[in-house]
Amino acid sequence: MAVCPIETRYKTEMNSLFDEQARLLSWLEVEVALAKAHAKLGNIPKGAAEEIEKGAKKVSLQRVLEIENEIHHDLMAMVRALSEQCPKYGGYVHYGATSYDIEDTATGLVMKRALGRIEERLKDTMKLLGGLALKHKKTVCIARTHGQHAVPTTYGMKFALYYQEAKRNLQRLEWAGKRIAVGKMSGAAGTMATFRGKGFEVQQAVMRELGLEPVAVANQVVQRDRHAEVLFVLALIASGMEKIAKEIRNLQRTEIMEVAEPFSAKQVGSSTMPHKRNPHKCERVCSLARLVRSNVAVAMENIALEHERDLTNSANERFIFAQSFIITDYMLSQMNKILAGLEFFPQNIRRNLELTGGAVMAERVMIELTERGMGRQEAHELMRQSAIEARQSGKRLFEVVAAKKEVAALIKRAELEKLFDPSTYIGEAERIVENAVKE
Which of 146, 264, 271, 275 is flagged as catalytic?
Answer: 146
In this structure, are residues 331 and 238 in contact, taking their beta carbons and an 8 Å threshold?
yes
Quick check: is 146 catalytic? yes
Structural element, H or E, at residue 152: strand 148-154
Query: Is beta strand 182-183 parallel, antiparallel or unpaired with respect to 213-214?
Result: parallel
Q: Give ∠ CA 309-180-11 in degrees, rounded to 5.
A: 100
- Tell me the C-alpha distance between 88 and 48, whole Å: 8
Which of 16, 60, 270, 287 is flagged as catalytic?
Answer: 270
| Count of CA atoms in the C-beta half-sphere (13 A) of 187 | 15
Q: Phi and psi (nearest 5°) for 142?
A: -90, 135
Q: Give ∠ CA 280-284-290 in degrees, rounded to 5.
A: 150
In this structure, are residues 153 and 429 in contact, taking their beta carbons and an 8 Å threshold?
yes
- Tell me the C-alpha distance between 207 and 176, whole Å: 18
Quick check: is 83 catalytic? no
Secondary structure letter of residue 329 according to DSSP: H
The residue type found at 69 is: N
Q: For residue 205, how many other CB atoms are within 10 A of its CB?
A: 21
- Tell me the C-alpha distance between 337 and 267, whole Å: 15
- Tell me the C-alpha distance between 35 and 202, whole Å: 10
The set of residues, in sequence order, having a beta carbon less than 8 Å from that of 98 and lying 6+ positions away, is 187, 188, 220
Which active-site residues does the annotation give? Answer: 146, 270
